[in-house]
Amino acid sequence: MRNDDPGAESDADAAPAHCSRTGCRVPATWALRWNNPRLHTPDRRKTWLACDEHRAYLADFLDRRGFLRATEPFTPPED
């Protein structure tokens, strides 16, 4: 995951990946894959992470703009 994505964790960060919704610190359970066709090539995917409560809100935000490409279960990488 790239560090410019909301919810992305750097290698130095020991905290679990959390929801990308502003103010939410709940561990992520969903990965929303998206791109902005005006800025990104068709194969490029950016990622927002979501908890169960905010998955629909974030997916709707992206979908209304035509950015949402996929919603997948998120499994944090093992150390």
Q: Please check whether residue 39 lies inside any domain of the structure.
A: yes
In this predicted model, which residue has the larger pLDDT, 18 or 13? 18
Q: Please check whether residue 68 lies inside any domain of the structure.
A: yes
Degrees, nearest 5: CA angle 36-38-42: 65
pLDDT the model gives residue 9: 44
**What is the number of other CB atoms lying within 10 angstroms of the CB of residue 71?**
19
Per-residue model confidence as pLDDT tens digits over 24-78: 999 999 999 999 999 989 899 999 999 999 999 999 999 999 999 999 999 988 7
Print the domain residue range for 59: 30-73
Pairing of strands 30-34, 68-73: antiparallel
Q: Please check whether residue 19 lies inside any domain of the structure.
A: no
Q: Please check whether residue 47 lies inside any domain of the structure.
A: yes
pTM of the model: 0.76
**Domain tally, the chain:** 1
